[in-house]
Amino acid sequence: MSHYILPAEWYPQSGVQLTWPHAETDWNYMLPEVEECFSNIAREISLREKLLIVAPAPDEVRQYLTNKVNMANVQFVTCPTNDTWARDHGGITMCDTETGKARILDFKFNGWGMKFVAALDNMITRNCYNQGVFEAEYVNKLNFVIEGGSIESDGNGTLLTTSECLLSPNRNGEWDKDEIESYLKSTLSVRQILWLDHGYLAGDDTDSHVDTLARICPNDTIVYVHCTDTDDEHYDALTRMEEQLLTFRTLTGKKYNLLPLPMANAIYEDGERLPATYANFLIINGAILYPTYNQPSNDCEAARVLQQAFPGYEIIGIDCRALIKQHGSLHCVTMQYPQGVLL
């Protein structure tokens, strides 16, 4: 009998992956700005656990980070990359609750439904495994497209996702909803899937990844983006999302404790609204790293809500105005690995 589970993000971690920006990525026009953001994230991770940095030229990154982070906790992997969104090209870890063994599931990453070139990023997990990064079994799941940002697990048999993303015709279009649900239940060892049918962020390239909208937290809690401005373009969709969240139940039939996160004030670049969201936080050992947007009132309110959701954790804000210029945020550029996985 298998005892493998898809652990919640707050499960004890061995480390976090960052795939570092470089001049051949879309960050080339603003590389110093985004590297500063990445180094701030790297500093907080390296103070608490191992940091795995994937880069085509790691010596340059090592030189840049010296005296900025706890280098004793940093491991580098040399690997060609298209971009930096580790959440979506990183391996998804399953853990055996009895033996402590782990499996790295390597799903196909196709640039969020073939929107962007991703052939190099789709090989990162295999490259890391071949270079001896993981103390885990490698499992080839490249017949199915899934991104880490599209799923949330409570570690106890429930998966939260969005129909907009997982039912996208450019991901697994030959599969219908029932087939996808059956596949996810058997592959990820979950017993129920909660499908969010509403909610989006302007400027988002991912087809409504759940980690931009609603996140599972401990103690049957879900934090979610809440829009109170009736004139905001997101108001109707996010209100319908909230109404649907109210109907969701745990496997034991309990209502979820819902905690609303503020909607970030609109941020524009070249006339385009950027996908600023407080739901895109990262859980690490003992701390929550959450994105801030130089909006003191909203930034503080988001910290208050996250402290309520994660009592006992340190809540640390990272200015992520650089990241949203390429349509992602803090959670999108990171992928955590449970304890015992990173060597």
* DSSP code per residue over 68-121: TS-GGGEEEEE---S---HHHHS-EEEEETTT--EEEEEEE--HHHHTS--TTG
From start to end of the chain, where are the E strands?
Answer: 4-5, 13-19, 50-55, 74-78, 92-96, 102-108, 137-145, 151-153, 158-162, 192-196, 214-217, 221-226, 257-262, 268-269, 272-273, 282-284, 287-292, 314-319, 334-338
Give the pLDDT confidence of 57-69 residue by residue, as tens digits: 999 999 999 999 9
pLDDT for res 85: 98
Q: Could you give the domains of the chain?
A: 4-338 (3.75.10.10)
pLDDT for res 343: 85
pLDDT for res 324: 98
The token pair that represents 75 in the structure block: 């491991």
Distance (Å, whole) CA 144 – CA 183: 9
Strands 282-284 and 287-292, by their bridges, are antiparallel
Closest Cα partner for 151 from 190, 102, 182? 190
Contact call for residues 184 and 216 (beta carbons, < 8 A): no
Contact call for residues 168 and 207 (beta carbons, < 8 A): yes
pLDDT for res 230: 97
The token pair that represents 258 in the structure block: 């819902």
Closest Cα partner for 280 from 293, 266, 271? 293
End-to-end CA distance of the chain: 27
Contact call for residues 17 and 104 (beta carbons, < 8 A): no
Contacts of 340 (CB under 8 A, 6+ apart): 14, 100, 102, 135
> Scanning the structure block, which residue is given the tokens 């853990």?
95
Task: Tell me how crowded residue 29 is: count the other CB atoms within 10 A of its CB.
Answer: 9
Phi/psi region, residue 67 (left: phi>0; alpha: psi -120 to 50; beta: rest), is left
Which helix (H) or strand (E) element contains residue 124? helix 124-130
Taking only the tens of pLDDT, the chain with its 343 residues reads: 568 999 999 999 999 999 999 999 999 999 999 999 999 999 999 999 999 999 999 999 999 999 999 999 999 999 999 999 999 999 999 999 999 899 999 999 999 999 999 999 999 999 999 999 999 999 999 999 999 999 999 999 999 999 999 999 999 999 999 999 999 999 999 999 999 999 999 999 999 999 999 999 999 999 999 999 999 999 999 999 999 999 999 999 999 999 999 999 999 999 999 999 999 999 999 999 999 999 999 999 999 999 999 999 999 999 999 999 999 999 999 999 999 999 8
Give the pLDDT confidence of 320-333 residue by residue, as tens digits: 999 999 999 999 99
Distance (Å, whole) CA 156 – CA 189: 9
